[in-house]
C-alpha cells in the first residue's frame, strides 16, 4: 500500500512519530535544574490550595515549599489584607509565616465573607450548617457589625 506524502493520514502519522521521538526524553523536574530561589519564586505564584497540592507532588517540591519562609510570607500577606491585626500579633509572638498562615487562613476567609455581606440575610444558625466557622474576637465582630450597619 502506497501513501501519498501530502495526505492527511501520512502527515498525522509523521507528526505523531515526531512527537513520540520527543517523548523518549524523560521530562525534567524544574526544581532539580533551577536554583532553589527560582523554584521558590515559581511556587510563590501559586494560591494557597495549589501550593498545598504542589507540596504533595514529590519530596523535592515538599522540601522547598516547607522550608521557604518567602513562599509562606507571600501567602500570609494575602491573609493579612483581611486579618492584619491577627497576623501582626502572631508575628510579634514569634510564629513562623507558615504557622501564622495556617492559624489565620480559615479566619480570614470567614471574616472576608462576613464583611462582604455574604451572611447578611442569615436568619438562624441552621442556615450556616455545613459552613466552616471559626471563633472571631470582639474587635472583628465590631468590624462586621459596622459593615452591616453601613450596608
Please give the Cα distance from 88 to 69 (Å, whole number).
Answer: 16
Give me the chain's average pLDDT, please: 83
Please give the Cα distance from 87 to 76 (Å, whole number).
Answer: 8
HSE value, Cβ hemisphere, 13 Å, CA-based, for 98: 11
pLDDT, tens only, 35-87: 999 999 999 999 988 999 999 999 999 999 999 999 999 899 888 888 999 99
CA proximity to 96, closest of 71, 63, 60, 61: 71
pLDDT, tens only, 84-94: 999 999 999 99
HSE value, Cβ hemisphere, 13 Å, CA-based, for 114: 24
Residues 132 and 110 sit within 8 Å (Cβ to Cβ):
yes
Location of C-alpha cell 450597619: 149
Beta strand segments in 1-151, E:
none
pLDDT, tens only, 132-147: 888 888 999 999 999 9
Q: Is the whole-model pTM more than 0.75?
A: no
Amino acid at each position: 500500500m502506497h501513501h501519498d506524502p501530502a495526505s492527511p493520514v501520512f502527515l498525522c502519522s509523521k507528526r505523531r512519530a515526531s512527537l513520540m521521538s520527543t517523548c523518549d526524553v524523560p521530562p525534567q523536574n524544574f526544581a532539580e535544574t533551577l536554583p532553589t530561589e527560582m523554584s521558590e519564586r515559581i511556587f510563590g505564584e501559586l494560591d494557597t490550595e495549589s501550593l498545598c497540592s504542589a507540596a504533595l507532588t514529590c519530596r523535592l517540591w515538599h522540601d522547598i515549599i516547607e522550608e521557604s519562609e518567602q513562599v509562606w510570607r507571600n501567602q500570609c500577606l494575602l491573609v493579612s489584607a483581611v486579618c492584619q491585626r491577627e497576623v501582626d500579633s502572631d508575628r510579634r509572638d514569634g510564629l513562623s509565616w507558615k504557622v501564622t498562615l495556617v492559624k489565620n487562613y480559615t479566619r480570614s476567609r470567614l471574616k472576608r465573607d462576613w464583611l462582604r455581606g455574604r451572611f447578611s440575610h442569615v436568619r438562624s444558625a441552621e442556615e450556616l450548617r455545613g459552613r466552616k466557622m471559626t471563633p472571631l474576637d470582639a474587635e472583628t465582630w465590631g468590624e462586621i457589625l459596622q459593615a452591616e450597619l453601613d450596608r
